Amino acid sequence: MKFSIGRNDTVFILTGAGISAESGLSTFRDSGGLWDRYRIEDVATPEAFQKNPELVWEFYSKRRKELKDVSPNRAHLSLANFQKKHPKTYLITQNVDNLHERAGSTNVIHMHGSLTRIRCTGCNYFEEHLEDIEGIPKCKECGNILRPDVVWFGEIPYFLNQIYELLSKTKLFIGIGTSGQVYPAAAFVSIAKSFKAKTVFINKERIYNEDIDLFIEGNASIEVEKFLSEIEVL
Ligand code: APR
């Protein structure tokens, strides 16, 4: 199936943990993934943070430290190159790692927040924070404890108004490395389809969704570059 897009056509790219797997970061639902090793209710909900902020900080501080040991892979780099060639490409990621930015992508929409941002539980203070964090950091403005600026289960993802606006104008939707099990991101492909977008998924494991026009089964580091290189820009 050949895909062609106009210069001014909106391309909506949704990535999930699978795009970072070949860089060495764990996914969530593959065997041995994060949710095999941790319980969501212990480390990824507001109630968990209330109950045991030390454990939650330990979980995120460990993942923050891992960022220093990994690099973007060919899938991240191919997306960054495609964005440069086709500026109307919008990169929406469920991932909290910084590999898209480190690959050269700009205006990355982190709908689930970022490991490199922390924010105050008591005031509007937030900061980009790359250094390691030990224990529970405190806000230098108001003294309250800081939290990872990551969207937990039961919280509302960021930038949804902008995302839905983009989906209504999308001509080509590409989902990469996501199991499509967590909403609202899991509904994005169907919303794009309802606005007559062409829809493509690239994933290691087959996922079944009648709104996917083309499913490419394989590793993102190979298949993303291959697919993007075959898109005809009119
Ligand atoms: N190439 C392509 N796809 C891959 C690769 C790879 N090398 N490795 C794994 N995958 C696929 C898996 O087959 C799986 O379908 O990536 C998908 C990862 O799915 P999940 O682990 O569920 O991750 P994701 O879809 O990003 O989870 C969504 O759930 O827990 C929350 O907030 C968390 O953002 C996360 C959200």
pLDDT digits (tens, 9 = 90+) for 59-83: 999 999 999 999 999 999 999 999 9
> b/e string for 96-107 if b means 16 or more Cβ within 10 A?
bbbbbbbbebee
The CATH code for residues 35-69+117-150 is: 3.30.1600.10
- pLDDT for 86: 95
Per-residue pLDDT band at 2 (split at 50, 70, 90): confident
Distance from residue 19's CA to the centre of ligand 1 (Å): 8
Mean local confidence (pLDDT), 203-209: 96
Distance from residue 144's CA to the centre of ligand 1 (Å): 34
28 is in an annotated binding site: yes
Contacts of range 179-183, beta carbons closer than 8 Å, 24 or more positions apart: 179/16, 179/18, 179/28, 179/29, 179/203, 179/205, 179/207, 180/207, 180/209, 181/29, 182/94
End-to-end alpha carbon distance in the chain: 16
Distance from residue 206's CA to the centre of ligand 1 (Å): 12
Atom of ligand 1 nearest to the CA of 29: 21
- pLDDT for 1: 72
Per-residue pLDDT band at 95 (split at 50, 70, 90): very high
Q: Alpha-carbon distance 220 to 147, whole Å? A: 31
What is the torsion angle, in degrees rounded to the nearest 10, for the CA atoms of residue 90, residue 95, residue 99 and residue 100?
A: 0
pTM higher than 0.85 for the full model?
yes
Least Cα distance to 79 among 63, 102, 96, 97 occurs for: 102
Mean local confidence (pLDDT), 38-45: 98
Residue 206 CB partners (closer than 8 Å, separation 6+): 215, 217
Mean local confidence (pLDDT), 103-130: 96
Mean local confidence (pLDDT), 18-45: 97
- 4-24+72-112+157-233 and 35-69+117-150 share one fold: no
CATH (one of 3.40.50.740, 3.60.15.10, 3.40.50.1220, 3.90.800.10) for 4-24+72-112+157-233: 3.40.50.1220
Distances (CA, A) of 69 to 25, 49, 61, 65: 9, 26, 14, 8
Local structure of 168: helix, strand or coil? helix
- pLDDT for 36: 95
The residue whose CB lies within 8 Å of the most ligand 1 atoms, and thus the one to mutate among 13, 14, 19, 27, is 27
- pLDDT for 161: 98
Query: Which of these is catalytic: 76, 100, 112, 129?
Result: 112
Catalytic annotation present for 129: no
The residue whose CB lies within 8 Å of the most ligand 1 atoms, and thus the one to mutate among 29, 155, 208, 215, is 29
Sequence ranges of the domains in the chain: 4-24+72-112+157-233, 35-69+117-150
For residue 44 the two structure tokens come to 């990824």
Q: What share of the chain is helix, strand, coil (3-state, %, to 5)?
A: 35, 20, 45
Residue nearest to ligand 1 atom 7, measured at CA: 219
pLDDT tens digits for range 97-115:
999 999 999 999 999 999 9
Ligand 1 — pocket residues by CB below 6 A?
A: 16-18, 21-22, 27-30, 33, 94, 112, 177-179, 181-182, 203-205, 219-220
Least Cα distance to 106 among 130, 131, 128, 88 occurs for: 88
